[in-house]
Amino acid sequence: MDFIKGYHRANGEYGIRNHLLVIPTVICANQVCNRISQTVPGTVSIPHQHGCSQIGADKVRTFETLAGTGKNPNVGAVIIVSLGCEVIDPHELAKDIGTTGKPVEVIDIQEVGGSVKAIQKGIEIAKRLRAELDQQPIVNMPISELRIGVKCGGSDATSGMASNPALGVASDILIEKGGTVVISETTEIIGAEHVMAARCSSKEVADKLYHFIERFEVEINRMGADMRGGNPSPGNIAGGLSTIEEKSLGCISKCGTSPLVGAFEYAEAIPGKGLYFMDSPGNDIECVSGMAASGVHLVCFTTGRGTPTGAAVIPVIKITGNERVFKSMNDNLDVDVSAMLAGTLGLNEAGESIWQEIVEVADGKETKAEILGHQEFSINRIGPTL
Amino acid sequence: MAGEVVAGADALVVDEKDHVATALKDIQAGDTIHYRSKDQLVTVVALDPIPFGHKVALVDMEEGTHVMKYGEVIGRATIKIERGRHVHVHNVEGIRGRGDQSQGA
């Protein structure tokens, strides 16, 4: 069996990183969280715009994204910072994340008496938890426990011709080894859903996929808007993509050729092993944040135009099939498969090189996004602000 | 899904049903484009400049034709497109995600 280095969690899961995560329950707690994470090395924060004036499914979505991020196996311990009067209940959040068995502490800014005291208390807790995490042993993690997200962003024509099909080969390798792949971006399978549906392992999975797409298209129709200009984006169009259908057909090859065994809602926990679909917008940060909340260990991100995208609790490996962009944005990009377009690199060979990078990053190698400290985080929102 | 590129090709055809090929380099109007179709080496003369990553028509298409790439429909020709023309948002439109064409819009 293949093994990589990991951290064994109390609930039996394995992490490939050992983050101490500081979660603001609400925008009002962002600054306190940022000061704590800036002061204690090895601590990450996920500032966001939500957590209050939200109701119903929208409130649930924020809660589940925060809870899922805390439960991600790359997180070893969590500090939750609440203002004290928001709709997201910090103690409910702590209880939910605590089901994983990892340490979770709560700070209430109103209760402790303001930002300064909350920051001081947070720093003390963070130092203690960080010291505990640093004592945690590194163990052998079976590669079959690895869960990856596959995402494309800043696409151009090279994405559909080179980087996505090559990533598809790597996706197939992981599934063959017993691992898990999550593909997402509901708006970017519009026009290619019949191809995806034909690969579903059951009618129920296909029906759910069609339900997610219909829900999005109904919303677009309700707005009376043309998707073009928004998706494909101006950059996609400059890169040669003419329609959403063309973009989608280029997108789906990144999840390989395995059967699609399930589909789930944004930020919902991945239900099992194999290839899954998660409902999400194509928006890079909202999608990657949702994947992290669903429990992926890392995301493989293809781009033709180039992007700095990283994520708070998971590594993001960036892959391009555009030689010019690999050179001009080398700070941000990890893998170059552009030789596929010169005919000097075969599809399987390119896929193997991506697989090699996945194994190395899972084993501890830092991605460019990690080195640069890219920790983008954004929660998908579905309701009005009250 | 994508076909593999033959070294030296100027454009890539993904599926034999496709109406378009994707340029693998910047092409000027009047250039001869070499591409592979069903294992044959074929040429088409560009009638427009075709930037890297953009599409060239391999067949004549009437207005309303469902344009094929990846062996699937990527949109509809909004005007007549001749073989060798640049195929992009000026002559192809998406059929899906068109709230602007929905009832009541």
Residues of B engaging A, defined by a Cβ cutoff of 8 Å: 1-2, 4-9, 12, 14, 22-24, 51-55, 69-70, 72-75, 87-89, 92-102, 104-105
What is d(CA A172, CA A256) in angstroms, rounded to the nearest whole number? Answer: 5
Rounded to the nearest 10°, the torsion over CA A293, A299, A302, A305 is 60
Residue A7 CB coordination number (10 Å) = 21
Q: Is B92 helix (H, G, I), strand (E, B) or coil?
A: strand
Q: Give contacts of B105 with chain A, Cβ < 8 Å.
A: 221, 224
The alpha carbon of residue B17 is apart from the nearest alpha carbon of chain A, in Å, by 14
- Determine the pLDDT at residue A230: 72
pLDDT tens for chain A, 386 residues long, are 699 999 999 999 999 999 999 999 999 999 999 999 999 999 999 999 999 999 999 999 999 999 999 999 999 999 999 999 999 999 999 999 999 999 999 999 999 999 999 999 999 999 999 999 999 999 999 999 999 999 999 999 999 999 999 999 999 999 999 999 999 999 999 999 999 999 999 999 999 999 999 998 888 888 887 776 677 889 999 999 999 999 999 999 999 999 999 999 999 999 999 999 999 999 999 999 999 999 999 999 999 999 999 999 999 999 999 999 999 999 999 999 999 999 999 999 999 999 999 999 999 999 999 999 999 999 999 988 88
Q: Residue A80 has which token pair?
A: 């939750």
What per-residue confidence (pLDDT) applies to B8? 77
Which of residues A365 and B36 earns the better pLDDT score?
Answer: A365
Select the residue from A228, A243, A347 to test the B interface by mutation, using most B Cβ atoms within 10 A. Answer: A243
pLDDT score, position B39: 81
HEC string of A212-225 equals HHHHHHHHHHHHCC
Contact present, A287 and A200 (Cβ < 8 Å): no
A340 touches chain B (CB under 8 A): yes
How do beta strands A147-152 and A139-142 pair?
Answer: unpaired
- Cβ atoms of B70 and A250 within 8 Å: the answer is yes
Distance separating alpha carbons of residues B72 and A251, to the nearest angstrom: 13
Contact between A303 and A153 under an 8 Å Cβ cutoff? The reply is yes
B54, B93, B99: residue with CB nearest A225 = B99
SS3 A177: coil
Is the separation of the CB atoms in B11 and B33 below 8 Å? yes
Q: For residue A17, give both structure tokens.
A: 């990183």
And the tokens for A87?
A: 């709709």
CA distance B52 to chain A (A): 8
Q: Nearest Cβ partner of B53 from A157, A243, A249?
A: A157
In this model, does residue B43 exceed pLDDT 80? yes
Residue B1 pLDDT grade (very low, low, confident, very high; cuts 50, 70, 90):
very low
Contact A311, A376 (CB under 8 A): yes
Residue B75's beta-bridge partner residues?
B67
ipTM for the whole complex: 0.94
- Are residues A170 and A354 in contact, defined by beta-carbon separation less than 8 angstroms? yes
Integer Cα distance of A290 and A380 in angstroms: 8
Q: Are A158 and B6 within 8 A, CB to CB?
A: no
Using the 8-state DSSP alphabet, how is residue A12 labeled? S
**Angle at A79 (CA atoms; ends A77, A82), nearest 5 degrees:** 155
- For residue A168, the chain B residue with the least C-alpha distance is B1
Residues 143-202 of A with CB under 8 A from B: 156-158, 160-162, 164-165, 168, 187, 190-192, 195
Instruction: Write the DSSP symbol of residue A23.
Output: E
**Distance from the B66 Cα atom to the nearest Cα atom in chain A, whole angstroms:** 12
Residue A266 CA to residue A63 CA, distance in Å, equals 12
Q: Kindly report, residue by residue over B66-95, the tens digit of the pLDDT.
A: 999 999 999 999 999 999 999 999 999 998
Phi and psi for A13 in degrees, rounded to 5? -75, 165
The one-letter amino acid at A319: I
* Number of neighbours of residue A197 by Cβ within 10 angstroms: 17
Query: Is the predicted pLDDT of residue B105 greater than 50, yes or no?
Result: no
Q: Which residues pair with A180 in a beta bridge?
A: A147, A274
Q: Which amino acid is at A19?
A: H
Q: Residue A279 in 3-state DSSP?
A: coil
Residue B103 pLDDT? 60
